[in-house]
A = this chain, B = another copy of it.
Amino acid sequence: MSFDILKAVYFKNVFENDFNRRMKMTSIKQIAKEVGASVSTVSRALNGYHDVNPKTREKVIEAARNLNYFPSTAARSLVTKRSHMIGLFFGDNVNSGFEDPFFQKVLSAIRELVGDAGYDLLVFTNKNKERATYTTLCRERGVDGTILILTGREKQVNIQLTDLQNSEIPCVAIDVPLEGKRCTYVESDNFLGIKKAVSYLAGLGHRQIAFIGGDEVSKISLDRLNGYRAGLNDEEIDYVPDLIEMGYYSKESAGVAVKNVLKKNKKVTAFLCASDLMAFSAVETLQEEGFSVPRDVSVVGFDDVDEAASYHPSLTTVKQNKEEIGSSATEQLLKIIEDPALSPPPIKIPCELVLRQSTAEVRKD
């Protein structure tokens, strides 16, 4: 009763009457009848095996075309154990990954490479599966491998993830440390990216650099935070806890964070933010508080979303190479799929600092 396979009943009965009308698929069997051969011969002919008489093949292909035949991937994958589908998990099933300006780019890179390699993309969206895990969903659908793009709280490593790690399902995560047999992950070099930004700000004379971090739990947030501290250290700037607040990657929280910093420290001259979204919020909050950006205070973001360039003032930011993250993740996955023994090491994609108009030399007066 409580076992949710029961949920699998879907709408079964709604369609009973309808079975025959839909999908009048022409099968290999009919082709066989048509050309007077056996199904296995037809199968071999269609699949390009060499041990088939050219004339037979021609007839088969001819018939296939005439009958408007197309192979059923369901039937095929039932026997081959290969679906030629790559699974895709997004965020927490609430927060739509599709809308995240960062993931869009990653996604289209994934899409490109996956398509070239002859796969379709299965996006897991079904919400009627209470007890499902990444692993069970992958197995049910029989995807050949899967890519994880998680957001928010889902970025914490949890049971589901370790389960997936042990499943031997080929799998690559983005931004989430997933290591194990047949799985790995790809991320930006968050540490170095932020560190560069600190050095840049220091070069402009800033010594009171606030950091609006992401959160306290995800690896990327911690790496960015550590990059900030390492940057300060490099530049021999004292680390001041008052200058750090978390903005949780949301506009609202970031605004509050900025205000908190301003309350605690009046002399801050720069805000380094762990995302562009939070940086926009910082700019707006600072302006509301009467500061001019970048004349009074400099602001640096992280991501380089499209909006960063057209924003006013245009945003200096640490650019993530989103396309490269996506394509790199896909490459890894395809490799793992092809070679079952593989467990490639994680990959760090370099960031680059993009200088724009939200930063300036520290004010002298």
Contacts and interface: CB of A to CB of B under 8 A. Distances in A.
Contacts of A70: 5, 136, 139-140
A65 B141 contact: no
B125 A115 contact: yes
B125 A122 contact: no
A123 B126 contact: no
B126 A47 contact: no
A311 B125 CA distance: 33
A208 interface: no
Nearest to A103: B98
Given A104-B98, A168-B22, A5 B116 contact: no
A104 to B, nearest CB: 6
Interface string A134-171: 00100111100000000000000000000000001000
Contacts of A21: 168, 340
Interface residues of A, number: 79
A22 to B, nearest CB: 6
A239 interface: no
A105 B140 CA distance: 29
A5 B71 contact: yes
Given A73-B140, A98-B104, A98-B107, A124 B118 contact: no
- Most chain B CB neighbours (cut-off 10 Å) among A9, A57, A126: A126
A270 interface: no
Contacts of A25: 139
B119 A121 contact: no
A142 B111 contact: no
Given A78-B72, A115-B93, A8 B46 contact: yes
Interface in A338-363: 338, 340
Nearest to A20: B81
Given A3-B65, A64-B3, A116-B127, A71 B8 contact: yes
A313 to B, nearest CB: 9
Nearest to A314: B312
A50 to B, nearest CB: 11
A120 interface: yes
A61 interface: yes
A114 interface: yes
Contacts of A9: 47-48
Given A74-B83, A312-B312, 17 more contacts: A3-B46, A5-B71, A6-B48, A8-B71, A9-B48, A10-B82, A19-B81, A71-B140, A72-B78, A74-B78, A74-B142, A96-B108, A96-B112, A99-B108, A122-B123, A123-B123, A310-B312
